[in-house]
């Protein structure tokens, strides 16, 4: 198992990010879905936990064959997806990724949001053994380099300003000077119990997790003016609308690809 704790600060309150998170996930999923690949929403429904209370359960299929390295694509079928199951008991969430084709592979993520700049040393109550294994990685959404293919001026937080919230642009020391400030604490556990490939696959999964979180959290802030005044009713309506559009986008292209292969 490869265990990392990511700490991702944002110039928001935890309550604000409750809306921003849902908006970012819905819009980001739609943007990243194309040519039969992307995020298909299978379920999105209320759930309840005896400790964490009421929440929202989502189940998604992430179709991504062509986005994988060649050495992984050589081992999997062309039509390939990872299943994401998430339980959102905000400000605490649980997310699991599995693949039916590779049963020994899984990623487990627990997340908690707090109103600070990443100073809580054991936010997710890790055991002493896990603390010894843990690698802490601060993701700086303003200053960390983004993959060139994902870079947009409109999402560069050293240039972007929210006119509705009067926040930004942000400088190198923003994490210590911004008000408000919050942190997303994410503990990511990667498992791949196959001798000879374990380290390579687990490292790839962690890198992918970091890249996705850097891009997604940058977008949540750069899109702030689109969601900052939304209510929970507004965001649920937006989620439903975007999920339908995204599913249509993914499944339409998959049907087209299947028809071409069978002709």
Q: CA-CA distance, 71 to 101, in Å (whole number)?
A: 16
Q: Classify strands 2-10 and 135-139 as parallel, antiparallel or unpaired.
A: parallel
Half-sphere exposure of 59 (CA within 13 A, CB side): 7
Angle in degrees, CA 30, 148, 245, rounded to 5: 5
**What pLDDT score does 71 carry?**
54
Q: Classify strands 2-10 and 105-114 as parallel, antiparallel or unpaired.
A: unpaired
Backbone angles phi, psi at 19, to 5 degrees: -80, -45
The helix (H) or strand (E) run that includes residue 81 is strand 81-89
Mind listing the pLDDT tens digit of every residue in the chain (263 residues)? 899 999 999 999 999 999 999 999 999 988 887 766 778 999 999 999 999 999 999 999 988 655 555 655 555 555 568 899 999 999 999 999 998 777 788 999 999 999 999 999 999 999 999 999 999 999 999 999 999 999 999 999 999 999 999 999 999 999 999 999 999 999 999 998 777 778 888 998 899 999 999 999 999 999 999 999 999 999 999 999 999 999 888 877 555 544 444 44
The greatest distance separating any two alpha carbons of the chain, rounded to the nearest whole angstrom, comes to 60
**What pLDDT score does 78 carry?**
56
Q: CA-CA distance, 33 to 20, in Å (whole number)?
A: 20
**What pLDDT score does 261 carry?**
47
Cα–Cα separations (whole angstroms), residue 45 to 24, 189, 191, 218: 18, 25, 28, 27
- pTM value is 0.89
**What pLDDT score does 259 carry?**
46
- Residues 38-92 have pLDDT tens digits of 789 999 999 999 999 999 999 999 886 555 556 555 555 555 688 999 999 999 9
What's the length of the chain? Answer: 263
């Amino acid at each position: 198992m490869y265990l990392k704790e990511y700490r991702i600060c944002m110039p928001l309150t935890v309550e604000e990010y409750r809306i921003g998170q849902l908006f970012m996930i819905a819009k980001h999923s739609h943007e990243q879905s194309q040519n039969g690949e992307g995020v298909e929403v299978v379920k999105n429904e209320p759930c309840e936990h005896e400790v964490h209370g009421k929440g929202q359960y989502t189940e998604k299929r992430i179709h991504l064959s062509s986005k994988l390295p060649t050495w992984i694509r050589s081992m999997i079928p062309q039509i390939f997806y990872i299943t994401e199951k998430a339980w959102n008991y905000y400000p605490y969430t649980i997310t699991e990724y599995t693949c039916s084709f590779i049963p020994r592979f899984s990623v487990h993520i627990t997340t908690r949001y707090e109103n600070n700049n990443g100073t809580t040393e054991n936010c997710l109550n890790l055991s002493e053994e896990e603390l010894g294994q843990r690698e802490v990685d601060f993701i700086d959404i303003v200053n960390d380099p983004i993959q060139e293919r994902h870079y947009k001026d409109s999402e560069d937080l050293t240039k972007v300003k929210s006119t509705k919230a009067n926040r930004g642009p942000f400088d190198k020391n923003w994490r210590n000077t911004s008000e408000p400030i919050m942190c997303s604490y994410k503990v990511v556990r990667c498992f791949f119990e196959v001798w000879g490939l374990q380290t390579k696959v687990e490292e790839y999964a962690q890198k992918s997790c970091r890249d996705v979180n850097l891009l997604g959290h940058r977008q949540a802030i750069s899109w702030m003016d689109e969601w900052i005044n939304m209510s929970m009713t507004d965001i649920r309506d937006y989620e439903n609308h975007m999920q339908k559009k995204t599913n249509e986008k993914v499944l339409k292209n998959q049907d087209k690809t299947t028809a071409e292969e069978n002709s």
